[in-house]
Amino acid sequence: VKVSRGDLATAVGWPANIDFDVAVEPKDLPLSRMEQNTKELIHLALRDRSDLSSARATVRQGKADLKKAESDLWPKLVATGNAGWTGINARISGSYGVFDGDIDASDISYYGGLAFQIPIFEGFSLRNKVRVARSNLEAARAALRLKEEEVISDVWSSFYNVRTAAQQVETSKTLLASSTESYRVSLARYRAGAAEIVELLNAQSLLVSARSQEVQARTDLFTFYAELVHAIGADLPSAPPDNPSGSESRGEESSHGKK
């Protein structure tokens, strides 16, 4: 048990010796929320996955860098200005016979100007910056497209793994019910003297195997469901989301499906 707890902690990124509580296994998973196709789930993943948000942020930063590099090629009109106020309020003693009395004065100062900056020649450094910025932007867009395809593949595989696992759970339940009934009949026959011990042991072995398969099937279902939730980046929705075409999650930064 300790080894299994250590493996579980390591699987979620914790130290193996950390102390934690395991939640009670839910009776049923919200599989009824899953539709017959993956369109909705893929839309959720493209909207909610944090790695996609990071990739889109990189594209936006690349656009800003390219815009800045291109603007440096053109002349600039720079405006400068400043305004200030100074004042003095004091009393001067006439010990030296120069002045005796109060001083109360103030003054406002300000200035403004325009500067016209023209890039003459900087050894092609400005154009090289544009090329580098454009190259970085294209690389960011390519990385975003690759990440979107990866997310779609993750959701697709996880979705059908869950469906297959759910079918295996139902099959294992049927097998377990049949094996339980077979064992009950064999036990009754053995007690009545109508069956040998070998028949009872065979029925018991089949029952143990059926129980093991049912447990493994449920384990696989929970595992694949967790992988699906991870692939989506959020839990399954309780209601269908808004129309994907109106979502801001895949704005101009999202390049999936564009030629």
Residues 6+ apart with CB under 8 A from 5: 20, 22
CATH assignment at residue 158 = 1.20.1600.10
Q: What is the pTM of this model?
A: 0.62
**pLDDT value, residue 256:** 56
- What percent of the chain has a predicted confidence (pLDDT) above 70? 75
**Cα distance between residue 259 and residue 129, in whole Å:** 27
pLDDT digits (tens, 9 = 90+) for 11-49: 767 888 888 887 776 667 767 666 656 788 888 889 888
**80 lies in the same domain as 70:** no
Structural domain boundaries, residue 104? 76-118
Q: What is the mean pLDDT of residues 171-188?
A: 95
| DSSP single-letter state for residue 36 | S
**Cα distance between residue 121 and residue 131, in whole Å:** 17
The total number of structural domains in the chain stands at 2
Coil vs helix vs strand at 89: strand
Residue 145 has pLDDT above 50, yes or no: yes
**Cα distance between residue 110 and residue 86, in whole Å:** 11
**165 lies in the same domain as 237:** yes
127-162: b (≥16 Cβ within 10 Å) or e: eebbeebeebbeebbeebbebbeebbebbeebbebb
**86 lies in the same domain as 104:** yes
> Who has greater pLDDT, 206 or 22?
206
Instruction: Judge contact between 136 and 65, C-beta under 8 A.
Output: yes
Residue 50's pLDDT band, with cuts at 50, 70 and 90, is confident
Coil vs helix vs strand at 96: coil
**pLDDT value, residue 249:** 39
> Who has greater pLDDT, 136 or 101?
136
**168 lies in the same domain as 102:** no
* Mean pLDDT taken over the chain: 80
pLDDT digits (tens, 9 = 90+) for 74-110: 777 777 778 777 767 666 665 555 556 566 667 787 7
* Phi-psi map region of 186: left, alpha, beta (phi>0 left; psi -120 to 50 alpha): alpha
**Cα distance between residue 66 and residue 58, in whole Å:** 12
- Quick check: is 10 in a domain? no
- Quick check: is 180 in a domain? yes
- Quick check: is 14 in a domain? no
Query: Which has the minimum average pLDDT: 172-181, 219-228, 236-245?
Result: 236-245
